Amino acid sequence: MKHLGVVLLILCLLQEKGIYAAGNEFMRSRGVQFMLNGSPYYGNGFNAYWLMYMASDPSQRNKVSSAFEESKKHGLTIARTWAFSDGGNNPLQYSPASYNEQMFQGLDFVISEARSYGIKIILSLVNNYENFGGKKQYVDWARGEGQSITSDDDFFTNSVVKGYYKNHIKSVLTRKNSINGIAYKDDPTIMAWELMNEPRCTSDPSGRTIQAWITEMASYLKSIDSNHLLEAGLEGFYGESVPQKQQFNPNFQIGTDFIANNQISDIDFATVHSYPDQWLTDANDESQLSFLDNWLNNHIQDAENILKKPILFTEFGKSGKDAGFSTTQRDQMFDTVYSTIYTSARGGGAAAGGMFWQLLTQGMDSFRDGYEIIFRESPSTTSLIALQSQKLIKIRKMYERLKNIERWNRARESGGGNSGN
């Protein structure tokens, strides 16, 4: 029986190593699944764009800690937030290549604190919209240097503007955290980089302009950081590469192509946003839920059959400011998203998780936008969130057990086949 004892000891050590190494592993992708510490990874998550801003004021950092603490209690393991704030009052980037150290230290705190709570972070690098500067600020900077700028969409084509953005990529990726001393590009707390929050280029509805921009910027980012996953930040609208899919779009075109953009080799996984209350404003709740169901399932099928990459539903929500809003309507929306993800995940499919917009903590009334979730104020929605977390964690544990069985078998073989004394 001594060989069996050796096998048990090896297995215990392997399990212990797996448990404690998980937080220090980089997220990977393999086929349609994320991989963490050698096992498929599924996770429930949230958006909190305000983390860096709040953490830049040391007296407000308790709100960041509280958000992570409450999220961990409810099983949330992924957070998406901004690594940008360009121009304007108290930004991260005052002007091209000129940074606000206090704001950067706020981001340092966010990453360090997420690490202590076992939460993975997705960091978005620029905004499509004017909020926090965005592409408009970049083209304004270039215009101020004498560049001929015709529209904000020149962000994607002007060489000077692209140079500014590349500098921001490099500045963020090579930043050395002032709290833990780890360069961002070397920190596995960061799950992935996002090139832009909701890229749109309405001046070129074909999608070719954004296709070229994603290709160039993804290659540049990967030349600096090959450790982390990368996604483009897309909302999921179909384009000209698969015209028969455009029937599933809301009735507008914004210059992106879900299939072609995500087929770029340096893009590791697909993203989808889901706001039927914004996109189908004249439709009733039932019609919006029907659209949502088709929207989710079509993208999962495409991730599995065409892209052959994982997919994250990185934003979804229903606004409390909608006419006739009820918590029941929001819960139905969350349940639709969560059920679809779970059905895919339990079968080993491409849907790896969903991230609601947005999480707030107590005392943040000025950040309310109608979509906010404050756990204490939203007990029914919070229960749905926690249940989804538990279900996805069970799937991860199932895969970990299967992996340990494989380790057990290998350990038995290496320990010798003799079961006698």
Please count the other Cβ atoms lying within 10 Å of the Cβ belonging to residue 290: 15
Cα distance between residue 130 and residue 134, in whole Å: 5
Cα distance between residue 118 and residue 113, in whole Å: 9
By the 8 A CB rule, do 303 and 270 touch? Answer: yes
By the 8 A CB rule, do 94 and 141 touch? Answer: no
Cα distance between residue 333 and residue 318, in whole Å: 7
Task: Return phi, psi of residue 57, to 5°.
Answer: -105, 105
By the 8 A CB rule, do 329 and 285 touch? Answer: yes
By the 8 A CB rule, do 249 and 296 touch? Answer: no
Structure tokens at 320: 């409390």
* Look-up of token digits 């190593």: 17
SS3 197: strand
Please count the other Cβ atoms lying within 10 Å of the Cβ belonging to residue 96: 21
* Look-up of token digits 């500045």: 171
Please give the helix or strand (H or E) that residue 315 lies within, else none: strand 311-316
Cis peptide before 358 (omega within 30 of 0): yes
Find all residues with CB under 8 Å of 113, minimum gap 6, and list them.
Answer: 55, 61, 64, 65, 68
Cα distance between residue 128 and residue 136, in whole Å: 8
Which residues are tagged catalytic? Answer: 198, 315
Find all residues with CB under 8 Å of 58, minimum gap 6, and list them.
Answer: none
74, 197, 302, 353, 385 from 343: Cα distances, Å: 20, 27, 16, 11, 16
By the 8 A CB rule, do 191 and 120 touch? Answer: yes
Please count the other Cβ atoms lying within 10 Å of the Cβ belonging to residue 271: 26
